[in-house]
Structure 1
């Protein structure tokens, strides 16, 4: 899970800085990670993921 959290931190920073190319690349990386997790024995991403997404949306509105 540390790998996912690291990617989430990088994505959050890229979004805050308005770096769209990095944000897009990191979002794609995270999608690949989540897809691999869901294919691997039915595991699902951390419950922190929806909260992180909600926080990003809120920051984008400010």
Structure 2
């Protein structure tokens, strides 16, 4: 089942400080060779000459 979250719903779950701390830990794990990831995937749905929906996915796993 897919659940779509609005920006407001995400903001209620994540604060900037904890998000930055999580990113810092992830970058350190990557530098230590403890991350498995694949290249970013971009999906683009054109809506008009200057408009599109863009969905970008970056997947990875941190080995603990």
Task: Flag the structure with higher strand content.
Answer: 2
TM-score of Structure 1 vs Structure 2, range by shorter chain: 0.3 to 0.5
Which structure has greater helix proportion?
1
Q: Give the greater-gyration-radius structure (CA).
A: 2
- Tell me the TM-score normalized by structure 1: 0.39
